Amino acid sequence: MNDDNGPGNPAAEAFKAAAAEHKAGRLEAAVREYRRALARDPAHLGALNNLAAALADLGRGAEAADAYAAALPHHPSVAAIHANLGNLSRQLGEFPDAAGHYERALALDPAMAEVRYALGVLLRRLGRPDPAREHLARAAAGLPGDARPGTALALLALDGGDTATAEARISEALEADAGDADAWNVLGVTAKATTDLDTAAQAFDRALAIQPDHAEARTNRGSLRLLGGDWAGGWADYRWRWRGAGRAAPGAGYGRPLWDGAEVPGGTVLLVGEQGFGDTLQFVRYAPMVKARAARVVLECRPELASLLAGAPGVDAIAAPGSAPPDIDAYRPLLDLPGLFGTGPESVPAAAGYLSAPAPRPLDAAPDAAVGLVWAGSPGHENDRNRSIGLRALAPLLGVPGVRFFSLQTGPAADQLAALDGAGRVTDLGRGLGDFADTAASLAGLDLVISVDTATAHLAGAMGRPTWLLVPKVPDWRWGLGGGTTPWYQSLTLFRQTDAGDWRGPVAALAEALRKLAGG
């Protein structure tokens, strides 16, 4: 709070009373007193600033923004007002506005290291890495003994795949403050990215020893445990992904209890899809197990999946996100179900397949093997840099005789087909795929699918279709650390990188396997 309460100020007594109420946590009373002070002195800096702060604490963000805006004509050169308005805009999710307010604050007072740190973090979020890096580096110099700028710089380096810089920055952060749980968590993320999984585990453990309720470290440790085969410990940790500030489990807003696995005679359980399409496709397999304990199962999923999953075993009805029927009795996010049912590698349900396709999409009759290709996932995926391959890397496959290739690629990466030498050997099916029912129909007509880690690969596995999956050196937790098979899908064969970022080895192995399949 601002203590602008100098002698002779006509609003001094009202401001003093307001500040006392504010300090005591009586925010509504404080708001009334601050307004009284401003009625006497509309330019009172302390009352303007603290009124906005009290309104923000009350969750009345729009009024708080108005209060800060009212202060600016009276005090245009006070950097703190711009900084506070930036903080409020950030809390409201108005990130470009927040960045603008922070930049104006720093133009007035370049020494505001906290504001510079906040701006750097925000610019990273806005996809502006170069200015983010500059501001975070200056913030680190202005905040000695603070691990946060170095931690943010490490994350920025990881965004660009620069693990060496990330290691250096997180080391500097921990030198500044070895008691910072966030820094230890990011050390764990960095170590995992460099395949140093022992160090990653130790770092996550250290973060949780410092802050046992650190939701991100708990979730990251869960993913690492699942990757390493500790499914029991992994599921327990992974449930923390929806805890922590600003997070809520999908479905929590319906005001129903979290389903605990107990029987719900005559009742309805809502299963809520979360994260990506592939996650929903992978874990809808649990619907029959839920159905065995409830009269009705409703699946909430994105529209692109609705047509296909309306016929999934155990699913009685589909709901669009945010529109669950009012008569549900309980809900559960889909990815909680493996832990709830105690799933281990030997007890994965329906690994042979559980989804059926509509009528297969007809392809031109030919004796050659029909092989589908998918080379990129969603560019917004946090691990897309490592999992997506680019079509040029698959060029060695196109020379294999006795094979007809069909692209199932959608999104921006589909444009790579036109620029590829030998593109005439690939029939583009991706442009005609409207939803996952269309994709399923195309998969049903193919002899084999070759894919990177995408929703299409999950769909193929869920349908029991033969699929060869390209897996990066440090894969998503569900693919484990070794081997050519996965307990999740019996029809999948995994081709793994041995060196991070180098797809030549697994693609060469794919080409050789394809020659054998085609009889070449």
In the three-class reduction of DSSP (H, G, I as helix; E, B as strand; rest coil), residue 7 is classed as coil
d(CA 172, CA 167): 9
Is-contact 337 286, C-beta < 8 A?
yes
Residue length, the chain? Answer: 520
d(CA 133, CA 139): 10
**What is the fold of 12-192?**
1.25.40
d(CA 144, CA 129): 22
Q: β-strands 294-300, 369-374: how paired? A: unpaired
Instruction: Identify the pLDDT of residue 3.
Output: 47
The DSSP letter of residue 295 is: E
506-512 contacts at long range (C-beta below 8 A, 24 or more positions apart): 506/470, 506/471, 507/389, 507/393, 507/394, 507/396, 507/397, 507/470, 508/396, 510/397, 510/450, 510/468, 510/470, 511/396, 511/397, 511/399, 511/400
CATH of 369-518, one of 3.40.640.10, 3.40.50.9100, 3.30.420.40, 3.40.50.2000: 3.40.50.2000
Specify burial of residue 455 (Cβ count, 10 A radius: 0-12, 13-18, 19+): buried
Is-contact 185 217, C-beta < 8 A?
yes
Tokens 């764990």 sit on residue: 188
Q: 422 in the Ramachandran plot: left (φ > 0), alpha (ψ -120 to 50) or beta?
A: left
Give 10-residue mean pLDDT values along the chain (520 residues). Answer: 50 77 84 81 78 80 79 82 88 90 95 96 95 96 96 95 95 97 98 93 98 96 96 95 83 92 96 93 98 97 96 96 90 96 96 88 79 83 72 90 92 85 79 92 94 96 97 93 96 94 93 88
> In 10 A of CB 265, how many CB atoms?
8
Q: Which two tokens stand for residue 256?
A: 């129903």
Q: What is the dihedral of CA 445, 352, 349, 454, to 10 degrees?
A: -50
Q: Which two tokens stand for residue 519?
A: 């009889």
Q: How far apart are the first and last CA of the chain?
A: 77
Specify burial of residue 252 (Cβ count, 10 A radius: 0-12, 13-18, 19+): middle
Q: Which two tokens stand for residue 417?
A: 């087909």
Partnered with residue 451 across adjacent β-strands are 374, 469
